[in-house]
Chains A and B, each alone.
Chain A
């Protein structure tokens, strides 16, 4: 149905290497910013694959997805179009951690992604394997391909995923490759190392996929989507839930069986040396480290409408195949399960991201940008967000227009990139809400206010969507004004308050004074006070929610804004790039070493580097004054 463009120019403004979630965003955004872009992929059919779970979003990752939408990225639109189930997570836990998540059709997602690439002007797809990044005098000039052809470009964005020196493991059997059936990239890693970049090794894993027909669903608890499913993207009008997931649990028998395979585990026998993510442990890791727990949750996620495969979430493993078979069959509902694809671990090279600028350009090689797993991150959303930022910055770099950086107080994307540049990645980096010190400001109901003006300024938001955003903001402000100015009498308010077991009011008061009470909602209040038509309240739940959150938590929000201001001074105290830390003997040894390596741009950035103590920061402040 789609055609790879055959006319193949050999010179580009920007070449994007790798068509994963980072490469897709990077190539599309750069092309939309007027660059002539080539997207180089080993096989265009694999562009946009969901190589692990068939899902987008989740805790904090849903925030990233919304932020990508507000900046004009494509992931949220593709997730909406290929979505099978939509759910807002954490609604019982407070507005800062509300986070959307979708189940997606793993066959449809790549098709929509490929369509987005092919329908972008200025963007050429190149089916080639890149073997070499060409660098002349510390400046990138293009890439060389397997057919020994050189394609020249002024900038290169490397989004190679897990493919650098990748090795896949199931039991003690290993295959060279980054994903089942795909070859690894071998030379690039050494070449970059020769240019002075420092690499490390990480590990990640994926669970087995089983046949839908082999599952006894009567033994399982269904997990449905939201009653009123909401899309990720402002471009999407409506989404539907099409299927359910199912939950089960492991038991003692499962754990006993899996333990038998520990002697043949590549993890436990030391064959894999790369560090894996603590937050997403393999099942063998969970059993080994938490031996007191006799059961772990397993969620079965169907991978699509027209496929038979089901993803076994919670059962990531690299144990031998016979052990995987036996172990999985001890789980209720999976007695006759047949595994279609075994779980495996993959070990790969990454480059320590402290070697990057905030625009994700390498400091060692001008014009070379990194995005995604090559920076030590894990996750589709993390990769996509980096791809977007790298693409924008590569375009700005070539236009000589500086860089585009988001602050920690502004976006999870800002938190992530700041963390990457400052912290030493010892495990694959995943975004968490707890990483954001201004979490309460980075709610999903504020995402468009925070970021859409940036997207618009960069030329990435079209009129239609921007008008929609402005209308929503106006509506929210109107709702807020209504609540702040309207009054309500005890006769009208007290029955409602009584129904919530709230104290009655003695005299007429503003709606606003009632909103601070935890159980009081603004929609019924506006209704009782005869303000704002019911249709507006029903048709714009997002605006209503945003207005309510803003007012209910006003005190806390103001507190955080004051914090942001207080620390802005440090952020603006710049450290000269050539600053000689070695001459400041007073710095702690660890602090000096970290500062020398990372070379923070500001005192604020210095204060966030682990190992740099507040005393080190005070000392630097003395020098800089």
Chain B
């Protein structure tokens, strides 16, 4: 016997709720010995191995005759659980101490600490989730916004898989007809009408393109909207940061593993998370702005969705124009906006002056609502492409490759290429779409055809 020991043969556990101080915490235990192991410590009305699936039991977690905490045990019997294995979810009082006691007791009895994503991996391997659903779980965990979370949840229910299946079926119908043309002699079948073929291909291409185009929006929903805040020293960036954060600061966990950069802060506006990123390079230089050669700054700006140039309006409205022009020239794809700050220092400054700039004072709070409104609108525009699916980079890449194959097929039809060549491209697109959802790649293309056409002499 070779190799049947690696996946799902051992029992794993991990804290399933966010770590830190909270009211309640859940420790999830999954694997063939989940019941047996929890039974060592949990004492309730029923012994866990005898409990029925989908029942919940109240009792005590007891280590060496010491009651650690009162707890609940939720029982899920394989395959009717998230991972498809036997699962116990232990509900206990939140707090580092209790959770650590429970986890440590399990680990000392041979349960292994789950690796990140391991529950989901087991769920995928046990056929509880297909590939797009498994990816949706990962997205859900990492979703930075409410909309992102909702979309990932929809995808988890299989919506994306269904849409892919539709696209793929459309292509299978096309290829079926082409194969028919190729496999039977001239007397038996008519050629596929090339005009119809072109139209069908074009429709499918635009469907795929539209889905792939939501990739950027999806990324914003997943990872948040990133705003690079740049400006000369002392233009009031920090006070602007603080003014925005005072009201909208996102609660960020202090547990290691949540990546945080001391230069970046997160605010929540209407359910969207917006990352404000201070740019290091500009801060460290004195008078001369030297964007060139400061790699970190460049890469921070490159990854942002908006560049916000903060200007000290008291030094003149055009004080930062050369900086703005430099940025516009170097990051042509990223929109920019100028913030005219410190207007409180200019007596009689006309806030209604005809300008696209945002006019505000971090000091007095004047105009900050306008800035919030502007940011929210910018996020909405950038996520407008998302409807019901949230696709990730891998899926977007496969979709784009599929569309590229179909474009090649389309120009082949226009150039009068024969069916055997067109089939190469269309088959490749079908295979790519199948790869996204993890379907079998070798469909019986003639299957549908036999029921619809009379062929063979």
Contact = CB atoms under 8 A, between A and B. Distances in A.
Q: How large is the interface on B (under 10, 10 to 19, 20 to 34, 35 or more residues)?
A: 35 or more
A578 B1 CA distance: 7
A538 B57 CA distance: 89
B109 interface: no
B164 to A, nearest CB: 13
A89 B456 CA distance: 15
A106 interface: no
Contacts of A59: 183-185
A297 B188 CA distance: 8
Nearest to A614: B438
Contact of A440 (B424, B442, B456): B424
Given A279-B456, A290-B454, A579-B4, 13 more contacts: A93-B418, A93-B420, A94-B420, A97-B182, A278-B456, A279-B446, A313-B457, A434-B446, A559-B424, A586-B122, A615-B124, A622-B6, A622-B7
23 contacts: A93-B181, A94-B182, A94-B417, A94-B420, A94-B421, A97-B420, A278-B450, A293-B454, A432-B183, A433-B179, A434-B445, A553-B421, A559-B424, A559-B428, A560-B424, A579-B4, A586-B7, A586-B84, A586-B126, A587-B127, A610-B440, A615-B131, A622-B6
Given A281-B456, A437-B427, A437-B442, A615 B187 contact: no
A423 to B, nearest CB: 9
Contact of B8 (A277, A578, A586): A586
A277 B130 CA distance: 35
Nearest to B417: A518
A519 to B, nearest CB: 8
A434 B183 contact: yes
Contacts of B193: none
Interface in B335-353: none
A299 interface: yes
B440 A90 contact: no
B178 to A, nearest CB: 9
Contacts of B444: 610
A196 interface: no
Contacts of B440: 607, 610, 612-614
B38 to A, nearest CB: 21
Nearest to A588: B127
Given A434-B179, A518-B416, A619-B125, A90 B185 contact: yes
B182 A619 contact: no
Helix, strand, loop or mixed for chain B's interface?
loop
B86 to A, nearest CB: 11
A146 to B, nearest CB: 38
Given A94-B421, A279-B456, A607-B441, A58 B4 contact: no
B434 interface: yes
**Taking each of B3, B7, B8, B438, which has the highest tally of chain A beta carbons within 10 Å of its own beta carbon?**
B3
A563 B425 CA distance: 12
Contacts of B186: 89-90, 92-93
B7 A623 contact: yes
Contacts of B454: 281, 286, 289-290, 293, 296
Closest 7 A-B residue pairs measured CB to CB? A94-B418, A96-B420, A94-B420, A434-B179, A290-B454, A614-B438, A586-B125
B455 interface: yes
Contacts of A432: 179, 183, 446
Nearest to A589: B127
A93 B126 contact: no
Contact of B438 (A580, A608, A618): A618
Contacts of B435: 614
Contact of A280 (B3, B8, B418, B456): B456
Contacts, number: 148
A485 interface: no
Interface in B281-308: none
A585 B8 contact: yes
Nearest to B442: A608
B325 interface: no
A208 interface: no
Interface of A: 58-60, 89-90, 92-97, 247, 277-281, 286, 289-290, 293, 296-297, 299, 313-314, 432-434, 437, 439-440, 518, 553, 556, 559-560, 563, 576, 578-580, 583-588, 607-608, 610, 612-615, 618-619, 622-624
B415 A518 contact: yes
B125 A622 contact: yes
B351 to A, nearest CB: 59
B418 to A, nearest CB: 3
Contacts of B7: 584, 586, 619, 622-623
Given A90-B186, A576-B2, A586 B127 contact: yes
A585 B126 contact: yes
Contacts of B185: 58-59, 89-90
B419 interface: yes
A15 to B, nearest CB: 36
Contact of A584 (B4, B188, B417): B4
Nearest to B180: A434
B4 A613 contact: no
Interface in B174-229: 179, 181-188
B125, B428, B450, most chain A CB atoms within 10 A = B125
A584 B1 CA distance: 12
A440 B450 contact: no
B262 to A, nearest CB: 39
Contacts of A289: 454
Nearest to A553: B421
A538 B173 CA distance: 42
A390 to B, nearest CB: 25
B39 interface: no
A432 to B, nearest CB: 5
B417 to A, nearest CB: 7
A97 B183 contact: yes
Contacts of A613: 438-440
Contact of B450 (A92, A95, A279, A623): A279
A336 to B, nearest CB: 23
B127 A556 contact: no
Contacts of A624: 3
B4 A614 contact: no
A342 B286 CA distance: 102
Contacts of B124: 615
A586 B416 CA distance: 48
B423 interface: yes
B457 A556 contact: no
A440 B439 contact: no
Interface string B122-159: 10111100110000000000000000000000000000
Contacts of B421: 94, 96, 440, 553, 556
Contacts of A584: 4, 7
A234 B420 CA distance: 26
Contacts of B1: 578-580, 583
Contacts of B84: 585-586
Nearest to A292: B454
Contacts of B6: 622-623
B424 A434 contact: no
Looking at B78, B415, B419, the one whose CB has the most chain A CB atoms below 10 A away is B419
B424 A556 contact: yes
Given A580-B4, A586-B84, A623-B7, A614 B434 contact: yes
Contact of A93 (B122, B125, B182): B182
A563 B179 CA distance: 20
Contacts of A299: 187, 457
A279 B417 CA distance: 27
Contacts of A286: 454
A440 B421 CA distance: 8
B220 to A, nearest CB: 29
A90 B130 CA distance: 42
B18 to A, nearest CB: 29
A60 B183 contact: yes
Contacts of B453: 290
Contacts of A623: 3-4, 6-7
